[in-house]
Amino acid sequence: MKSMTGYGRGEFRSKSSRLKVEVKTLNHRYCEVNLRLPGRLYPLEAELVEFTKKSFERGRIDIFVREMGSEHRGRVTVDEAQLNHYLKILKNLSRKLKTKDPLRPEALLSLPQVIKVEEEEEDPAKLLSAFKASLADIFKAVDKMRLKEGEGLKKEFFKRLGLITGYAEKVEGRIPTIIQDYQARLKEKIAKWLQQPPDEWRLAQEVAHYVDRTDVSEELQRLKSHLSHFKEILKEKGAVGRKLDFILQEMNREINTLGAKAQDAQVSQWVVGCKHEMEKLREQVQNVE
């Protein structure tokens, strides 16, 4: 099981540039990829998004790519035709002005369009392949962090599931006492009203009706089943967040019914305890891939 929170970074070097890459992942209902690329990498965006989605099943993945400087300065050439044109003009000007100032090379090279820098374009396919390989290494670091956090979440889940199981067992153990207490209170009330012992058959009928209205055995059984299913899902590989969220909804339904049917102060306290743990579970499940 993995958390959806992770971070990784690295550098990518190519023939023409050096890039700093950061990857951050957060919880999200689906798989959403956001890329911030230098302008010259925009043509690669669609393929990089597709590549990223193959590495993550759920979560918001933010990838920041920043240019750190050029690794290649290009090929420098001198436009000799343009230089000869300038020399001809300068020599004519020198004769007219009757000057003999030497023509310094640095002065000539600083003239417009004499020096040319020809940037060599990288093969887009090779650039994409190399950048994917760099991203894959960063994704491994992110995945390692997500796995580590997932293990922490799993321990927390088992702890809270154990607490809910404990509350459910307490409720189950109290049911006979609830029935006995109701029977005793009812018998006392009837005797007080009639000034004589109540009819045992009618008393048994009323108690049976009460038991039928307040019986929570089915809810407890389903809750136990959901708890067991939740634990089994925690052991599965891959994305399990949506499954866990669905099971929590079913557990919450059974716990709410328990509170409504039990009609007992002690049981109500245990139900509140269950709801508290359920709320914590819901918050944590939102970060499971």
The residues near 274 (Cβ < 8 Å, ≥ 6 apart) are 164, 167, 168, 255, 258
pLDDT score recorded for residue 183: 61
* Topology of domain 6-72+124-146, CATH: Ribosomal Protein S5; domain 2 (3.30.230)
Sequence spans of domains, the chain: 6-72+124-146, 75-118, 150-285
What predicted TM-score, i.e. pTM, was given to this entire model?
0.69
Rounded to whole angstroms, how far apart are CA atoms 172 and 165?
11
At residue 215, the 3 state secondary structure works out as coil
- Which pLDDT tens digits describe the chain residue by residue (289 residues)? 899 999 999 998 877 678 899 999 999 989 999 999 988 788 889 999 999 999 999 999 999 999 876 555 556 777 788 878 877 887 777 777 777 666 677 776 777 877 776 665 667 788 888 889 999 999 999 999 999 999 999 999 999 999 999 999 998 888 777 666 656 565 566 556 656 565 666 656 665 555 556 567 788 899 999 999 999 999 998 889 999 999 999 999 999 888 887 777 888 899 999 999 999 999 999 999 9
At residue 26, the 3 state secondary structure works out as strand
Q: In what order do the strands lie in the sheet with 59-70?
A: 6-13, 17-26, 59-70, 31-36
Rounded to whole angstroms, how far apart are CA atoms 11 and 9?
7
Rounded to whole angstroms, how far apart are CA atoms 116 and 158?
68
pLDDT score recorded for residue 210: 57
Question: Are the CB atoms for 289 and 239 separated by under 8 Å?
Answer: yes
pLDDT score recorded for residue 237: 86
Q: What is the 8-class DSSP label of residue 51?
A: H
